[in-house]
Structure 1
Amino acid sequence: MTVTYDYTGKAVLVTGGTKGIGGGIARAFREAGAEVTVCARREPAAPLPGLRFVRADVRVPDDVERLISGFDRLDVVVNNAGGSPYAPLEGTSPRLHARVIELNLTAPLLVSQRAYPLLAAAGGAVVMIGSAGGARPSPGTSAYGAAKAGLHHLARCLAAEWAPRVRVNTVVVGLAATENASSHYGGRDDGMGAAIPAGRMATPADVAAACLWLAAPGYVTGAEVRVDGGGEIPAWRHLASSDVS
């Protein structure tokens, strides 16, 4: 069975939508007929066919104001911009941790807040791109995990505060295969699929499919949809298996 969506005539914003998961989400909405705008701090390395690009740092209120003021209509906001290098708490600068929290929590709040009037007028939706790191211990990326946990909570709060005019949901992404995966996973991503029941890491297309569903008109709001291939197999399972053998 193939599920298709028709977003013809809809205006969609994907933050951090020039590459990786964000790029996959932007392409999926474009292929479904939407007029898609993406933003990032830097110009993309190559043209983005069919997409409108706006240079903006979503951590900066003035940039967010300029970004959103460029829309006459806005039906969907996907708060995707985020991430973190592998940064153990000890020995890492306070400024780095602050910037990670600003990017992964404060920025989605600012974008959603500024976009709300347009979304409410259209009966639109916000999709937060969360992380499994915000739902379980995240050693080596503690600030990132804490920010994502806050993002999950923010989405639930906004879903209640803005209902029924705007729906707000979260896609909780597990281990994901992107061009930046190695830096996030401590310098390596080989063999990570072995830790996932589905046998592989998530792809941008997997995440995009969940976004298309959550952004479509419907009843669901305040939900967290896990796109994690069944979760991550705990290390004790491997240890137990070794003991038994």
Structure 2
Amino acid sequence: MELDGKVAVVTGGTRGVGAGIARSLARAGAQVVICARRAPEVPVDKTEFMPLDVRDAGAVRRFFDALPQVDVLVNNAGGAPYRLLADADAERHARVVQLNLLAPLTVSLAAYEHLKRTRGAVVMIGSVSGSRPSPGTAAYGAAKAGLENLARSMAVEWAPEVRVNTLVVGMVRTELSHLHYGDEDGIDAVSRTVPLGRLAEPADIGAAAVFLASEAAAYISGASLLVHGGGERPAFLDAATADADPNMEE
């Protein structure tokens, strides 16, 4: 097993992508601690849950002070509702940035001494929203762009003891997919825009996290690994070929 004897902490690991990552780490042999504000409605197999609000710096420090060992930290907690910029005040958008950028910084700093001692690894969960326009989730996209840059700087400052990388995640099918993509027909339509023809499963993200946390990635730090099924088909291609004659020869 790639992670036998390792202790992994996954923030926001109670459902969706976070739960998928936690399960994958556990299957790889790690002792997994998941933390979130509320306990999971469905227990995540082979993991231990501890309550934590990652936006509370004091609570985060106390959480890591109480742990005897940390080898892997996955900064997964995050997210944002759909909200156009002009439909909310700056303070509301700032809370999105706090959760998706400042909280991972807070958590990483609190875990640093553990990770330095064990020559551990940090895995940031980024998003394709950080590298393209994100109308309706602009603050989230900006935070994810900052998170990727933070990881690259952290990788340089904390080397050689701690490796830091980012998983740049695309669309994932979770128990909340209907809130973003609609019913099964909507999910199927969205899936057809992905070159690999489907949305990611949480286990796909988990497998990539295991890789970055393991010795198989011992010489990888400061990297951004795209886990998005090939990305998104450029809209201009569909627009340019919409009226083309399918029988036309080159």
For Structure 1 versus Structure 2, the TM-score category normalised by the shorter chain is over 0.9
Runs of at least 4 residues off by over 6 Å: none
CA distance in 2, matches of 1:30, 1:200: 25
The answer to whether residue 216 in structure 2 is matched with residue 197 in structure 1 is no
Contact 1:85 1:183 (C-alpha < 8 Å) held by counterparts:
no
Q: For each residue in 1:1-22, what CA deviation from the matched residue of structure 2 results, as whole angstroms up to 9, or x when unmatched?
A: xxxx421211000000011000
Bigger shift: residues 189-198 or 34-43: 189-198
Task: Quote the Cα distance in structure 2 between the aligned partners of 1:45 and 1:190.
Answer: 27
Note if 1:25 corresponds to 2:21.
yes
Q: SS in structure 1 opposite 2:242? A: helix
Name whichever of 45-54 and 227-236 sits farther off. 45-54
Superposed counterparts of 1:68-217, under 5 Å: 68-184=64-180, 189-217=187-215
Q: How far apart, CA to CA, are the structure 1 residues paired with 2:37 and 2:194?
A: 32
State the partner residue of 2:226: 226
Read off the aligned partner of 2:206 and give its amino acid letter.
Answer: A
Change (3 A) 1:164 1:184: farther
Q: Deviations over 1:217-236 (max 9, x none)?
A: 21100000000011101222
Deviation at residue 190 of structure 1 after TM alignment: 4.9
**CA deviation profile, 1:103-132 (whole Å, cap 9, x unmatched):** 110010000011010001000000000000
Q: CA deviation at 1:66?
A: 2.4
The higher radius of gyration belongs to 2
Contact 2:23 / 2:44 at 8 angstroms: preserved in 1?
no
Alpha carbons 1:131, 1:172 under 8 Å: kept: yes
Contact 1:12/1:34 (CA < 8 Å) preserved in 2? yes
Q: CA RMSD in A?
A: 1.6
CA distance in 1, matches of 2:242, 2:159: 50
Counterparts in 2 of 1:33 and 1:143: CA distance versus 1, 3 Å: same
Using the size of structure 1 for normalisation, the TM-score is: 0.94
In the superposition, the TM-score normalised over structure 2's length comes to: 0.92
Name the CA distance, whole Å, in 2 between partners of 1:154 and 1:184: 28
Report deviation, 1:60.
1.0
Q: 1:82 to 1:34 in 2, by over 3 A?
A: same
Displacement after TM superposition at 1:186 (Å): 8.8
Instruction: Name the CA shift for 1:181/1:90 in 2 (closer, same or farther; >3 Å).
Output: farther
Q: Does the aligned pair in 1 maintain the 2:121–2:164 contact within 8 Å?
A: yes
Aligned residues: 241
Seen in structure 2, the aligned counterparts of structure 1 residues 186 and 134 have a Cα distance that, compared at 3 Å, is farther
Change (3 A) 1:108 1:184: farther
My pick for the range that moved more, 181-190 or 60-69, is 181-190
